[in-house]
């Protein structure tokens, strides 16, 4: 099943005929696999690790797959298809990246949902592209085209970072946020409640859904002796976490994981402000799976501490998995659940 933006690209796939194509910020579907019948070659760059994993079984000489905040090489393409990001602040970064990987005179195609900000592309397009023209409008999506007319500037990751000092219960930290990574430039109330009520940790500790690395950096500030691992599904978040750790002279293993699937072995503690948001119809299933997987990943006597909105469905899953529910702290909005294996 293709997303609506992918369906609009499929409908205009003649534009990609016999071309070397890069799909940038791909959707969670198999469009890249379908386009092999039209394009000469297809490459993808996924910023969402789950989207990358969905395509992985189909990788071949004609379909090259990449995950990360940038490509690992300088390859240039006849056409770059950019899926307009949900975070508008990420768009200029991706447009620069697209320009770097286009041949001179190459075609940029930008597709996105009408309500997702793609309408502003004509104002956002940098001057190394010519003026964008609208090619199609269907399935509540728009498709724009532009040509690379000048050399795109080299990218320095530091130019796309917001740095600020954050006061935590463990001390002051320097936080580095790349464009597209959520940041309030203050310690959010849920994370604050969690950090205020954590007992002493030791051994191997996992920060699940690490984001920009606030929790990991706070834990390492409190005890540099712990062995920290940080996982997230978002490439920009992982890069932000690495920058935050470096800015505070800290080290940890930072890597992508879809849930806990890519983690190895067991942990003495799992800590998280889980990235499961209100309004998603599958929140219950994701939360339940996370709780069950966490229990399997803890050493005997291992600690599990998470903070979540009071109304999110954790209690039942925790009770059935850990044989009880322990709320170690709460306020009118959040609860901190603290369990032992």
* Residue where a domain stops, chosen among 120, 147, 174: 147
Task: Tell me whether residue 165 is in a domain.
Answer: yes
Q: Is the pLDDT of residue 194 over 80?
A: yes
Q: Is residue 209 part of a domain?
A: yes
Position of tokens 């509540």? Answer: 140
SS3 assignment, position 3:
coil
Statement to judge: residues 142 and 164 lie in one domain: no
Ramachandran sector of residue 54 (left: φ over 0; alpha: ψ -120 to 50; beta: rest) = alpha
CA distance 38 to 167: 53
Distance CA 201, CA 223 (A): 8
- Residue 112 phi/psi, 5-degree rounding, is -170, 165
pLDDT at residue 118 tops 80: yes
Classify residue 287 as exposed, middle or buried by CB count within 10 Å of its CB (0-12, 13-18, 19+).
buried
**Helix, strand or coil for residue 195?**
helix
pLDDT of residue 31: 98
- pLDDT score, position 327: 95
| Residues 248-253, mean pLDDT to the nearest whole number | 98
Question: Are 249 and 188 in a shared domain?
Answer: yes
Weakest-pLDDT range from 240-249, 258-267, 311-320: 311-320
User: Hey, how many other C-beta atoms are within 10 angstroms of the C-beta on 169?
Assistant: 16
Name the band, by pLDDT with cuts 50, 70 and 90, for residue 278. Answer: very low
Q: Specify the pLDDT at position 283.
A: 60
- What is the value of pTM for the model shown? 0.95
Nearest to 91 by CA among 144, 151, 16: 144
Residue range 35-64, pLDDT digits in tens: 999 999 999 999 999 999 999 999 999 999
Q: Does the pLDDT value for residue 335 go beyond 50?
A: yes
Whole-number pLDDT of residue 287 = 79
- Which residues fall within 8 angstroms of residue 196, CB to CB, at 6 or more apart? 169, 329
Element (H or E) spanning 240, and its range? helix 235-247
Question: Confidence class of residue 281 from pLDDT cuts 50, 70 and 90?
Answer: very low
Using a pLDDT cut of 90, give the percent of the chain over it: 89
Q: Is residue 204 domain-shared with residue 321, that is, in the same domain?
A: yes
Q: Work out the average pLDDT over 207-212.
A: 96
Q: What average pLDDT does range 195-213 have in this prediction?
A: 96
CA distance linking residue 73 with residue 70, whole number of Å = 9
Average pLDDT on 132-153 reads: 97
Tell me the C-alpha distance between 280 and 286, whole Å.
10
Give the pLDDT score at 128: 98
What is the domain range of residue 328? Answer: 158-340
Task: With both helix axes pointing from N to C terminus, report the angle between 315-322 and 283-297 in degrees, rounded to the nearest 10.
Answer: 30
253-256, strands of its sheet edge to edge: 253-256, 227-232, 204-208, 267-272, 298-309, 334-340, 327-330
* Average pLDDT of the segment spanning 128-155: 97
Say what the pLDDT of residue 314 is.
86
pLDDT of 143 strictly over 70: yes
Say whether both 84 and 190 belong to one domain: no
* The domain boundary residue, chosen from 91, 122, 147: 147
| 134 and 44 assigned to the same domain | yes
**pLDDT for the residue numbered 70:** 97
Same domain membership, residue 278 and residue 203: yes
Domain count within the chain: 2
118/214 same-domain check: no
Q: Cβ contacts of residue 303 below 8 Å, gap of 6+? A: 199, 201, 268, 269, 270, 338, 339, 340
Segment 145-161 mean pLDDT: 96
Query: What are the tokens at 229?
Result: 């691992």
End-of-domain residue from the set 99, 122, 147: 147
Beta partners for residue 64, in sequence order: 43
pLDDT recorded at residue 313: 78
pLDDT tier at 280, thresholds 50, 70, 90: very low
Average per-residue pLDDT for the chain: 94
Mark whether 167 and 99 lie in a shared domain.
Answer: no
Domain presence at residue 153: no
Band the pLDDT of 315: cuts 50, 70, 90. confident
178 and 98, same structural domain? no
Angle between helices 214-222 and 189-196 (to 10 degrees): 20
Q: What is the domain-level CATH number for residue 292?
A: 3.40.50.150
pLDDT score recorded for residue 286:
78
Establish if 208 belongs to a structural domain: yes
Residues 122 and 179 in one domain: no
Whether 104 is covered by a domain: the verdict is yes
Beta bridge partners of 148: 129
Residue 152 lies in a domain: no
Same domain, 42 and 14: yes
Nearest to 190 by CA among 305, 340, 320: 305
Task: Average the pLDDT over 215-236 and give the result.
Answer: 97
What span, in angstroms and rounded, lies between the C-alpha atoms of 149 and 163?
Answer: 33
* pLDDT band of 279, cuts 50, 70, 90: very low
195 in the same domain as 47: no
């Amino acid at each position: 099943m293709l997303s609506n933006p992918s369906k609009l690209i499929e409908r205009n796939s003649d534009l990609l005929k016999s071309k070397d194509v890069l799909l940038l910020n791909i959707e969670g579907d198999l469009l890249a696999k379908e386009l092999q019948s039209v394009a000469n070659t297809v490459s993808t760059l996924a910023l969402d690790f789950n989207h990358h994993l969905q395509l992985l079984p189909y990788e071949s000489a004609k379909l090259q797959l990449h995950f990360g905040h940038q490509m690992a090489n300088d390859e240039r393409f006849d056409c770059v298809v950019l899926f307009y990001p949900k975070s508008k602040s990420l768009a200029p970064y991706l447009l620069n990246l697209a320009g770097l990987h286009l041949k001179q005179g190459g075609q940029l195609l930008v597709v996105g949902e009408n309500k997702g900000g793609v309408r502003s592309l004509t104002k956002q397009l940098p001057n190394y592209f010519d003026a964008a023209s609208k090619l199609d409008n269907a399935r509540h999506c728009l498709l724009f085209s532009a040509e690379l007319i000048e050399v795109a500037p080299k990218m320095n990751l530091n130019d796309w970072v917001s740095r600020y000092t954050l006061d935590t219960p463990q001390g002051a930290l320097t936080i580095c946020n790349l464009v597209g990574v959520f940041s309030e430039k203050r310690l959010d109330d849920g994370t604050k409640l969690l950090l205020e009520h954590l007992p002493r940790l030791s051994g191997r500790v996992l920060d699940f859904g690490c984001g920009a690395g606030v929790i990991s950096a706070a834990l390492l500030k409190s005890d540099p002796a712990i062995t920290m691992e940080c996982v997230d599904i978002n490439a920009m978040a992982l890069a932000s976490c690495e920058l935050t750790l470096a800015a505070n002279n800290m080290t940890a293993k930072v890597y992508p994981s879809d849930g806990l699937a890519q983690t190895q072995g067991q942990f003495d503690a799992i800590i998280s402000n889980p990235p499961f948001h209100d309004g998603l119809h599958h929140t219950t299933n994701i939360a339940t799976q996370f709780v069950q997987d966490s229990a399997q990943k803890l050493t005997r006597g291992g600690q599990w501490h998470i903070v979540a909105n009071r109304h999110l469905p954790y209690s039942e899953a925790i009770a059935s998995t850990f044989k009880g529910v322990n709320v170690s702290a709460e306020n009118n909005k959040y609860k901190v659940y603290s369990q032992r294996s």
